[in-house]
Amino acid sequence: MAKERAYDYIQMPGDWPSPRACLGYSLVQQLYVLYKLNIIGRTTIDQIKSSIDLIKYDQDEIKNKAEKIAALIKGKIPVIYTSDRMEAVAVRFRQQINENSKFLAWHHVIPEMNHNELVGWKDVYDNIAVIYFRNKDDFRRNAVRMDINKEVISKYCDSIIEIYSKGQSLVEKSMYFVHLGDWVSWYLAELRGVDALEVNVIDHLKGELAKLG
């Protein structure tokens, strides 16, 4: 339809198994549209390219780290905490664990969780693994909040993992976390013996909804 009307459009590959496996295409597409509309500058595009270089250079280390993290959280419910500016990363990681690893997880951001969820840590939880996504340039008060959080939560949970990002810009740090989290979810799927691509329950939901017309 866009071609018939001479509209600008970007064609996504049609042979990918799932949207979550197509992030590289969808993310770059959206950034390119914003760039062409002069909403973002060339700097963001350059940071994406730098992110690719970083991921390629650290690929073996990222995969090794992801495999170790997957082994540590196997059999436990992952609870993901990060600063508010990194919430998109936490959402992505939670969803990848849900879909790829076929497992429940939840996330929250700092400082918001300090006003509510922190109060919920009052019992010992042997079935939970807390994962902190951190950056060396996090806002100072948020960094201190995370330190205090860890001190409080360590009284009730003995599985606490801190992961620091790599990269210079927020884009690079975010893409590093996304790539690492994706690999964690993949290795966790292997450890659990599940098919990372299978989403039968979502297909069932769509099928039932289709009956409504």
pLDDT digits (tens, 9 = 90+) for 144-203: 999 999 999 999 999 999 999 999 999 999 999 999 999 999 999 999 999 999 999 998
* Domain, as residue range, for 87: 58-210
List 99, 107, 166, 179, catalytic entry: 99
| Position 24 in a domain | no
> Looking at residue 128, what is its pLDDT?
97
Q: Does residue 115 have an active-site annotation?
A: yes
Angle (CA) 196 200 205, round 5°? 135
Least confident of 34-38, 70-74, 142-146: 34-38
2 domain-assigned:
no
- Check which CATH number belongs to the domain holding 132 and give it: 3.40.50.10490
Query: Per the domain annotation, does 28 fall within a domain?
Result: no
- Does 49 reside within a domain? no
Instruction: For residue 83, tell me if it sits in a domain.
Output: yes
Nearest one of 78, 187, 64, 88 to 132, comparing CA atoms = 78
| C-alpha neighbours within 13 Å on the C-beta side of residue 176 | 25
Q: Which of 3, 115, 136, 211 is catalytic?
A: 115
Is residue 15 predicted with pLDDT exceeding 80? no
pLDDT digits (tens, 9 = 90+) for 104-157: 999 999 999 999 999 999 999 999 999 999 999 999 999 999 999 999 999 999
Residues 45, 46, 49, CA angle at the centre, nearest 5°? 95
Determine what percent of the chain falls in helix, strand and coil, rounding each to the nearest 5. Answer: 55, 10, 30
Q: Is residue 120 part of a domain?
A: yes
Task: Please count the structural domains in the chain.
Answer: 1
In the residue annotation, 4 being an active-site residue is answered as no
- Confirm whether 38 is domain-assigned: no
Q: 43 lies in a domain?
A: no
